[in-house]
Structure formats: structure tokens, C-alpha cells
Amino acid sequence: MYSDIKEPQQRLSRDAVKVWVIREIIETGTGLIILGILLYLDHRFAWKAWIGWILYGLLVIDVLAAVWSWINSYFLYKNWRYDVSEEFLQLKSGVLNEKHHLVPMTKIQAVATQQGPILKKYGLCSVTVDTMGSSHTIPALPKEDAIALRNQIARYAKIKEVES
């Protein structure tokens, strides 16, 4: 019955990578500041030696995680796809662990757009679709496209609800 469903083709905005990298810089910077303060306090108050080793280990892990997350942002953009039809919302994402969601329009209960300060700087919005048991987000679309997609999903979901 559903063998004719094609892979989703719609892509996110190219600025999604910039948004994700900025978010990672903020998160990593916060972690580095906290670790820097703790390292200063360790040296200032001569805490036990093992505390310093743990802090330096966390510093190395934080830097490696930051490098991976920056690289991962490019892979996420490259692999993120979505599509909408009258029957389904399709979401495909993942770098190492690929996920492909088919959300029936009859199960969609709410759809919304969201825009934080970083997304707003680039004129982007995220579209969130809620069902009874889960929530799905399309992370970074141009604002006009996000609003049109939100309205299209709402129309399709309402049509299917009325037909049921």
C-alpha cells in the first residue's frame, strides 16, 4: 500500500550549519569558562592532585566534543531531509544512526513554528509537529518556508481529521 512512498527531498536552509556552530560555540565556551574557573581555583587553593587531573581530563573531553560537534553540524545538514504529502510528514536525519520517520497526517495534533535569537538573526524558524506520543522538529527553515509548511501541515491534518 505504501510502497510508492519516495525518499524525502526537501532540505534545510544552508544557514542551519551556521546556527548549529554558533550554538556549539556558546555551549563549549560556557563549559570552558567553568572549567577555567575550576582550574584557577584548583591552583589557587591547592586542591588534591586528583581533582586537577579530572579537570584537565574534562578539558580535553570538552575540546574533543566541540571539534566533533562542529564537524557533526555539516554532516547533519547534508543528511537532513523532509517532505509533506496529504498522507504523511516524512523526516529523515542522522549521520551515524539514520532515522526515517513517517508521521501520518491523521495523528498530528498540533504544529507550531519557533524562533530563538540565533535563528532570528538568520531569518530561520523551526517547525514542531506534535502527535499523541511524540514531537518532531524540522530545525532550520527560512521563515516564509516554515510558515507555509506549518500551514500546509495544519491544512492536511485538518482535512484528514474531517474525512475520518
- Half-sphere exposure at residue 61, Cβ-oriented, CA atoms within 13 angstroms: 8
Radius of gyration over every alpha carbon of the chain, rounded to an integer in angstroms: 21
The pLDDT of residue 95 is: 80
3-state SS class at 112: strand
SS3 per-residue string spanning 115-158: CCHHHHHCCEEEEEEEECCCEEEEEEEEHHHHHHHHHHHHHHHH
At residue 2, does pLDDT exceed 70? no
Q: Decide if pLDDT at 164 tops 50.
A: no
Q: Identify the architecture of domain 82-163 in CATH.
A: Roll (2.30)
Length of the chain: 164
The model carries a pTM of: 0.85
- pLDDT 10s digits, 55-112: 999 999 999 999 998 899 999 999 999 999 999 999 999 888 999 999 999 999 999 9
* 79 burial type by CB count under 10 A (0-12 exposed, 13-18 middle, 19+ buried): middle
pLDDT of residue 119: 97
Query: With 60 as the cut, is the pLDDT of residue 3 above it?
Result: no
Q: Are 104 and 88 in contact (CB under 8 A)?
A: yes
pLDDT in tens, 10-67: 999 999 999 999 999 999 999 999 999 999 999 999 999 999 999 999 999 999 999 9
Question: What does the pLDDT look like over 112-128, one tens digit per residue?
Answer: 999 999 999 999 999 99
Distance CA 16, CA 23 (A): 11
Among 121, 128, 89, 153, residue whose Cα is nearest residue 16? 121
| C-alpha torsion 36→42→43→49, nearest 10 | -120
